[in-house]
Amino acid sequence: MLSLLIFLPLIAALFILVLPSRFQQHFKYITLGVSVIQFVLSLFIYLKFNSFAFAAGINKESQYQLLEKLPWIRLNLGNIGNLEIDYFLGIDGLSMPFLILSALVTFVATLASWEIKTKLKAYFSLFLLLNTAVIGVFCALDFFLFYIFYELMLLPLYFLIGIWGGIRREYAAIKFFLYTLFGSVFMLLVIIGLYFSVINPATGNHTFNMILMMDPANYADGSIFSAIAAKNLFGISARLLAFIVLFVAFAIKVPIVPLHTWLPDAHVEAPTPVSIILAGLLLKVGGYGIIRVCYSIFPDSAMLSAWWIGLIGVISIIYGALNALAQTDLKRLIAYSSVSHMGFVLLGIASSTIEGVSGAMLQMISHGGLSAMLFFLVGMIYERVKDREIANFSGLAEIMPQFTAFVIVAFFASLGLPGFSAFMAEAFTLIGAFTSEQVNGLIPRWMSVVASIGILLSATYFLWTLQRMFFGQPRLKGAADWLSKLSDINAREKLALIPLVALALALGIFPSLLFDKMNASVVAFVQLISGS
């Protein structure tokens, strides 16, 4: 099932590659078909998903669902032992929601790809490859496999930004690539270190199995990352160092201040569908990685650094919001707002409370949908008049009333209007962060209070934009020419936006849709990291 979900796009990509170019007008329909099938499959998985406590997952292999475990690489390395890499997939409550999100965001991004006119064959095959990689990351339970998918995401993105992007696309693509590579190279070191530390009790070999890495008992005596041996590297605890390295690798993706500067450039220069995927899925890979890898494998180090992570979260929230306030480019504004919103994820995870982690998860899903929607909307303006400067527009509500309605929904949803998912997410993140001091004493209460200012600031920049661009008398920089180009939203765009609105509304009004499915996993996760 999961393999099908992962490799379906890959098959489609190969199919597109072998089709002659004269069918290139049909590639988008193939891609769309794949994403619809994926969405249906993921919905099916969602409905069949077992949400009871005995299927919580996290650190017990037997509790994962839809497990697929095949020996993949077995090499006898002589006196180092056997190399043991598995093709190991499975989902629990923390990864299942991302499958739906991936399918949905891909669907929307495919609809946004209608505007891509050049090199369609390459575009759609890269696009589908990216899709494969993203879903693979969310399903992989073998660290080696995880890393392969993680790196596989980079390649198509680099080309998608670098070839189909805006004016400074090469700069943005390279910046993005270097940033992410910087993180993942060090991650590889940690992976190898972990490999040599962890022993599969069943076979006695070293293993890449992530679930086995979560159990301190599986660490070899005196190995570098063994919790009992407590070895030091460069003067600090090896486990802490490994945690920090992994955290930085994922946090670049999230992103955190001060490692966020790739994000505005990459988002702004990327073509609309890629922005959608970047904001909707890539950032979530970072958050997911922190939960699945950093926290689960190094809970002790995570507890030690919780204060700092919380602080980074708060700084990201405020700093991102302030930066967004200063923007004159609409897309850049939304990019910075992503920094701000993803700060909540960090804060929620750092709190290590059930509310906080649930809030962070919901925030990721919610932001996935909403940022996709925002970037889609910006893309619509951009592709009509090739301009995104806020100051060049005014009174769009008169010209494009339906479009404005969607913009209002998107803006208010992301500024946390209750009834939309972002509110629930942010509220529970803040609750979790606030409760943390009572429950586990990790994060001081003031962080939660300061973070709530971010909500106010997000209202400020979104409303200010709304007032400047959409309200007032119609006044455009391009005058009559633009007026004729700025047609209102069409059926395809509606088709893309309505599922996102529905997602935001559904999760905002019935958060149980998500909370019920992942509650057991969240509880198990919190138990794992708090060591009880």
Partner 1 sequence: MQEIEFSEFVGLISLLVILLPLFSFLLILAGRKGRGANLALINISISFILSVYLFFFIWNKQPIHYQIPWFLIGDIEFKAGVLLNNLSVLMITLVSGISVLVHIYSRTYMKDDLNIHRYWAYLGLFCFSMLGLVISDNLLLIYLFWELVGFSSFLLIGFWYTRPIASQAAKKAFIMNRIGDIGFLIGIIIIFSQFRTLDITALFGDMGLVKTSLVDKGLWISASRQMPEVWLSIAGLAFFIGAMAKSAQFPLHTWLPDAMEGPTSVSSLIHAATMVAAGVFLIARVYPVFDPFVLNTMVCIGAFTAFMAATIALSQNDIKRILAYSTISQLGFMVMALGIGAYSESIFHLATHAFFKCLLFLAAGSVIHQLHHYRDEHSLDFDNQDIRIMGGLKKGMPITFIGMCLASSALIGLPLSSGYLSKDAILINAFEWAGSRDGIYTMIPYIMVITSWLTVFYISRLVFKVFFSTPKRMSMEQANQIQDAPKQMSYVLVILSFFCLFFAFSFNPFSFESSWLWDGFSSNLFQKVNLYHWLIPLILNIGTAVLIFTAYKIYVKNDGMSISEKNIFHRFFIQEWYLNELYRYLFTVPVEKFSNVCYWFDRNIIDALVLKSVTLISILSAISHWCDRILVDGFVNALGTCAKWIGHFSRNFQTGKLQHYLISMLLVVLSFFILTYFI
Q: Tell me which residues touch partner 1 (CB under 8 A).
A: 175, 178-179, 257-258, 261, 319, 322-327, 354-355, 358, 395, 397-398, 412, 417-419, 423, 427-428, 430-431, 434-435, 437-438, 445, 448-449, 452-453, 455-456, 459-460, 463-464, 466-467, 470-474, 510-512, 515-516, 519, 522-523, 526
Burial 257-266 (b: 16+ CB within 10 A, else e): bebbebbbbb
Q: Which two tokens stand for residue 449?
A: 């209070």
User: Dihedral, CA atoms, 165, 117, 253, 322, nearest 10 degrees?
Assistant: 60
- To partner 1, the closest distance from the beta carbon of 527 in angstroms equals 11
Minimal distance in Å, beta carbon 368 to partner 1?
19
CB atoms within 10 A of CB 145: 22
Shortest separation between residue 111's beta carbon and partner 1, angstroms: 23
Residue in this structure with the two tokens 């080309």, named with its chain if needed: 159
Classify burial at 386, counting beta carbons within 10 Å of its beta carbon; exposed 0-12, middle 13-18, buried 19 or more.
exposed
Structure tokens at 53: 């406590």
Six-digit token pair at 32? 């769309």
- Residues 527, 532: Cα–Cα separation, whole Å: 5
Question: H/E element holding 464?
Answer: helix 445-465
In whole angstroms, the minimum distance from the beta carbon of 392 to partner 1 comes to 17
User: Considering beta carbons, is residue 141 or 529 the nearer one to partner 1?
Assistant: 529
- Choice between 276 and 457, CB closer to partner 1: 457
Is the CB of 29 or the CB of 510 nearer to partner 1? Answer: 510
Q: What is the DSSP letter of 88?
A: E
Cβ burial of 188 (10 Å; 0-12, 13-18, 19+) is: middle
Smallest gap from residue 276 Cβ to partner 1 (A)? 23
Residue 123 C-beta: closest distance to partner 1, Å: 28
Contact at 8 Å (CB) between 356 and 345? no
Furthest CA-CA distance within the chain: 77
Q: Which two tokens stand for residue 38?
A: 């994926």
Query: In this complex, which beta carbon is closest to partner 1, that of residue 295 or of residue 412?
Result: 412
Output 319 or 376, the one with its CB closest to partner 1.
Answer: 319
Minimum distance from CB of 136 to partner 1 (Å)? 29
Q: Which is nearer to partner 1, 275 or 353 (CB)?
A: 353
Q: Which is nearer to partner 1, 308 or 510 (CB)?
A: 510
- For residue 292, what are the contacts with CB-CB under 8 A and spacing of at least 6? 94, 95, 210
Q: Which is nearer to partner 1, 220 or 322 (CB)?
A: 322
Residue among 265 and 493 whose Cβ is closer to partner 1: 265
Residue 245: name the closest of 293, 211, 306 by CA: 293
Which has the closest alpha carbon to 451: 340, 528, 359?
340
Minimum Å gap between C-beta 3 and partner 1 is 32
Query: Considering only CA atoms, which of 390, 360, 411, 154 is closest in space to residue 274?
Result: 154
CB of 46: closest distance to partner 1 in angstroms? 16
